[in-house]
Amino acid sequence: MKPILFCMILICSWAPNCGVGQQQTKETTRTPAQQDLSSGGSPFPAELPKPQKKPSGPTTIKLTHDGRTFVGQPLAWDGKQLAMLRLDGELRVIPLKDKENAKVVSPEFEPYFPSELKKRLKREFGDRYDVSATKNCVVVHPWGDSEYWADPFELMIQRFESYFEKHKVELKKSQFTFIVIVLRSRKDFDRYMHNEIKLHNGNVAGFYSRLSNRIVTYDPSGLVRKPSQKSWLLGSQTMFHESAHQLAFNRGLHNRYSPPPLWLSEGLAMMFETSGLNKKRLDALRKFYDQRKVSGQMTRLLSDDTLFQLEPELAYSLSWGMAHYLSKQNPESFFTYLKEDAARPNFHVVSPPQRLKAFAKHFGNDIDKIEQGMRRYYK
Ligand SMILES: [Zn+2]
């Protein structure tokens, strides 16, 4: 499989008129998740409606807009647009000026069970695809060999859970079923990115979207697979990486509505790409040390996410280095910091000084000292 260069963890840059809220689909006939996705730009929560008042609880509402029906949990409303969490885990922003238009249909919010989700995904992706389900996952995939598609993701979940169990970090129970879409070919994947997220990038082998809460990738064999290649998913670092993203958001280590600093989410995901030391990331980081490009960049990554746009390879390498180093040298602080970041209020925008302060609370103010310790560690 072509190695991933950039991971597309979703950073939504939607503004009130950018069109995300207008891309409606019928509740009963969803098309593949329609999102605004970019590798940078303004952080997702900055543009979301600010709640006028705190929702009273996880109720389920139903509303119609432009002749279409939407059912889900209201998260925030600013008098013009409503952020809604749908029953399959997708986050939608829907124009809504009159709240009378939204009716409460249940005092609770109960997402779809895997069986219902499976039915809906079958309808969404049509005859060209099969859908397989296991205890925790529902996977849309090309026809044939259904046992090979969903089981590997159960193993990815096990690896993730075992790691945190070993470090005595309690994970929340997932509210939503783990969803993966494996498209038939690179061509289909490119078309999907073009149609659904307006993205062209030959280096992207898969992505996790915080809006759809799904992983999307493609079958690299082009449907001509030898029997020995059937377990390709287990050899895919990209899938371990994207699975870690979805799991971190679903299990309470990140907050989908107030996302973490990018170095933290990417660093964590890269820690799960391999079962042992991530040699590929280590080699890349050492290359940047040799080129003397690392110095001073840690403060930048801690403050904002701009390095991911300007020098993505350096940003990813250093993010892995930071997450790996801090989790090894100071695991207690690392996991506390992670959970505290996830506990921020929904749709809360964090300024660069606030980001630095949150980090310093757990690791101290002397970033240069941490940087020097890290350089010695990776020599
Ligand atoms: Zn990623």
Among 106, 131, 159, the domain-final residue is 106
Q: 185-243, pLDDT tens digit by residue?
A: 899 999 988 877 777 777 888 889 988 999 999 988 765 555 445 567 877 888 999 99
Do 131 and 91 share a structural domain?
A: no
**Ligand 1 geometric centre to CA of 296 (Å):** 23
Place of tokens 């695809």: 129
**Residues 275 and 244 both lie in one domain:** no
Distance 23 CA to ligand 1 centre (A): 25
- Asked if residue 286 and residue 213 are part of one domain, the reply reads no
pLDDT at 1: 38
Residues 284 and 184 placed together within one structural domain of the fold: no
3-state secondary structure of 306: coil
**120 & 178 share domain:** yes
Domain presence at residue 8: no
Q: Is 277 within a domain? A: yes
pLDDT in tens, 33-80: 222 222 222 223 334 555 555 555 689 999 988 888 999 999 988 888
Question: pLDDT value at position 67?
Answer: 87
CA of residue 274 to ligand 1 center, whole Å? 14
The answer to whether position 3 is within a domain reads no
Sign, CA torsion 329/331/337/341: positive
For 165, the token pair is 């169990």
**What integer is the mean pLDDT of 22-28?**
26
Mean pLDDT, the chain, rounded, equals 83
Do residues 93 and 72 share a domain?
A: yes
Q: How far does residue 105's CA lie from ligand 1's centre (Å)?
A: 36
Report the domain count for the chain: 3
Residues 149 and 230 occupy one common structural domain: yes
Cα(208) to centroid of ligand 1, in Å? 7
Residue 11 lies in a domain: no
Say whether both 63 and 144 belong to one domain. no
Asked whether residue 167 falls in the same domain as residue 221, the answer is yes
62, 79, 106 — which closes off a domain? 106
Whichever domain contains 52, its CATH number is 2.30.30
Domain that holds residue 54: 20-106
**Does residue 9 have a pLDDT over 50?**
no
* The pLDDT of residue 77: 86
- On whether both 232 and 309 belong to a single domain, the answer is no
Same domain, 127 and 231: yes
Q: Does 224 fall in a domain?
A: yes
Whichever domain contains 122, its CATH number is 3.30.2010.30
Residues that place a CB less than 5 A from ion ligand 1: 7, 9, 266, 269
Domain boundary among 106, 138, 162: 106
Q: Between 44 and 317, whose confidence is greater?
A: 317
Residues 287, 239, single domain; the answer is no
> Do the domain assignments include residue 84?
yes
Share of the chain above pLDDT 90, in %: 60
pTM of the model: 0.85
8 A C-beta contact, residue 243 and residue 215: yes
Strand 60-65 with 68-77, pairing: antiparallel
Q: What is the DSSP string of 84-148?
A: EEETTS-EEEEE-S-GGGEEEEESS--PPPHHHHHHHHHHHHGGGEEEEE-SSEEEEEESS-THH
**Half-sphere exposure (CA, 13 Å, Cβ side) for 209?**
25
For 74, list phi and psi in degrees, rounded to 5: -75, 130
* 9 part of a folded domain: no
Cα-based distances in Å from 125 to 128, 165, 192, 196, 341:
7, 36, 12, 14, 36
Answer yes or no: is 364 within a domain.
yes
